[in-house]
Structure 1
Amino acid sequence: MKRVMTGALIAAVVGIGGAGAAAAAEPSHDQNTRQDCRTYSSVTKCGQVQLDEKQRACVTSAVQQGMTERRATVECSAFG
């Protein structure tokens, strides 16, 4: 009797875990409401990032050194 109850308990836990995983995989937003967000060096920027002249020069320099423009934009706007 103890084995049957243990087996039923394990099956119940696996069933609950499986249902939670399926719900977590569903998107939480419509594609129309999503923004172009990116995070680098613990800084998140969404949409079009406005840069001043010094920050634009920072982006240009970083891209010439091999950094992607998206990453350079975020890092230079935060630290440049």
Structure 2
Amino acid sequence: MSQLITLGSELIRINPQNTTRLQYSYNQGRSWLDRYIGSTPGRFLDLQVAGTQIIALTAKGTYYSKDSGRTWLFRSK
């Protein structure tokens, strides 16, 4: 797993200053924008691409997203 993944033409990373947030870049990492700023999954620890989904290991368990990290659903502890 990783703290930075490639999904399609975007880079997605765990925000290095606030691990409860995800950021994305559409210009190979030259600039970053917030993608997810909620609190449902808690702190993000690692990210992985699985087909069209993102799998996240978090402080609250394993979560997945089907929409490029905009929303997160609980998978397991």
TM-score by length of 1: 0.23
Question: Greater helix share, 1 or 2?
Answer: 1
User: Of Structure 1 and Structure 2, which has the larger fraction of its residues in strand?
Assistant: 2
